Amino acid sequence: MEYRTVDSTSVGGTDSVWPKSERGEGLVAALALAISMGFGRFAFTGMYPLMVRDGVVSVSTGSVAASANYAGYLVGALLASRIPHRNAGRCAQLALIATTVCIAILALAMPPEILAFVRFIAGIASALGLICSAVWLLQVRARHHGSPLMFSGVGLGILISAELIALGNVERWHSSYIWWVLAAGAVVLLVPAWRPLRLAAITQHDVKSDTAPVERHLLTPGVLIASYGLAGFGYIITATYLPLFVRDALGSIDPVHVWAAFGLGAAPSCFLWHALHERLGTRRSLQLNLLIQAVGVALPVVSHSAAGYLASALLVGGTFMGTVTIVMPAAKRVAHTVKFNLFAVMTAAYGVGQILGPIASSWLVHAGHGFNPSLEMAAFSLVVAAIVCLL
């Protein structure tokens, strides 16, 4: 489908360097999410055990930094809700620059308080990058069918950053040097996405009609908020600590490769869950998503083998972005029934769950209980979220 820009002078000739298609703009948004989320938010998970190894952080310091990042994400999401749609593309550009700068700063030695602050700012930038890129694609450019491709960018970013970390580990690089490599990788992804993000609003003439089936029985805003908040707590333990709690159980296998499998599962899963959502409806697809995710979270508790950890990474990675792919369109359909910003409240609930997860896990590990109780709580919260969907 061809498109034309409202203001061609503002894009600097972008039409000549990027495919004129919905798929092309979906790929632009995917690259933005790969940077803001895959690199800016989740590369820390792969780097965490290496930073502990190099004495840069302790387990407790890293947990505080992780929670600070999720708190920043919450703040960024609330800020993003106030940004006019017409400014979404430029805001996404600024957020991607801020994300890249924060990644580079982590290469420097700093006290724990500064580390937590940097991760807090990175969290704000990640949320702004995610939400503004999504608004740019879905609202400004009206490319609704590009959403699965866009959300797959998170898994792509996790996969690429994890393999860069694994390469650095094989070469025995210090963690500070690997952060420089990750910053360079983010720049490489940013270059092709930069100019298209300046595209202005699409004309109504070029908008495809939405042929998605209309659901008869929608989840209420309260159910969406509660289930999404529980999902935020449910996935975050695995997404924060997976390479750390498997590092001594895989023999010669670099645990970062298990984290790469997490991204490998996430990238294509958005298309699967989008299709299941359209076929099964919100309630059944979300329940299925959350229950499979619970199994993945609980696997390391019952199986300490390499196969068990790999299956956990694939199952959780293959469902956590699927949750977003299902819930966000579902929320859009009922947002008009409430007087508050439903997306902001849902993101806040999700953010609170993410903040509480690392704090609870750090306390339990510090108390000598290990990671198993944290994973059990996380899996239980996902089961509860699936039950809430029945209401």
Handedness of CA 350, 48, 180, 166 (dihedral sign): negative
What are the pLDDT digits (tens) for 100-129?
999 999 999 899 999 999 999 999 999 999
CA-to-CA dists, residue 295 to 97, 129, 157, 182, 256, angstroms: 37, 30, 24, 31, 21
| pLDDT of residue 86 exceeding 90 | no
Write down the pLDDT at residue 5.
37
What are the pLDDT digits (tens) for 280-295?
999 999 999 999 999 9
Mean pLDDT of 286-306: 92
Mean pLDDT of 81-85: 84
Q: Identify whether the C-beta of residue 85 lies closer than 8 Å to the C-beta of residue 139.
A: yes
| pLDDT of residue 194 exceeding 90 | yes
Handedness of CA 13, 16, 21, 22 (dihedral sign): negative
Mean pLDDT of 31-47: 94
Question: Whole-model pTM?
Answer: 0.82
pLDDT higher at 78 or 40: 40
| pLDDT of residue 379 exceeding 80 | yes
Cα 329 to chain centroid distance, Å, stands at: 16
Write down the pLDDT at residue 214.
57
Six-digit token pair at 224?
Answer: 């969406």
What are the pLDDT digits (tens) for 89-100?
999 999 999 999
- What confidence tier does 216 reach under pLDDT thresholds 50, 70, 90? low
Write down the pLDDT at residue 347.
80
| pLDDT of residue 88 exceeding 50 | yes
What are the pLDDT digits (tens) for 268-279?
999 999 999 989
Write down the pLDDT at residue 11.
39
- What confidence tier does 37 reach under pLDDT thresholds 50, 70, 90? very high
DSSP symbol at 57: -
Listed as own residue / partner, the contacts of 338-341 with beta carbons closer than 8 Å and 24 or more positions apart are 338/221, 341/81
Mean pLDDT of 193-208: 72
Mean pLDDT of 228-252: 81
* Percentage, residues of the chain above pLDDT 90: 49
Highest mean pLDDT, choosing among 17-26, 67-76, 119-128: 119-128
Mean pLDDT of 234-247: 81
| pLDDT of residue 7 exceeding 50 | no
CA-to-CA dists, residue 322 to 30, 44, 202, 245, 301, angstroms: 15, 21, 27, 24, 23
**Domains in the chain: ranges and CATH:** 20-202 (1.20.1250.20), 216-391 (1.20.1250.20)
Residue type, 357: G
What backbone torsions phi and psi does residue 136 show, to the nearest 5 degrees?
-60, -45
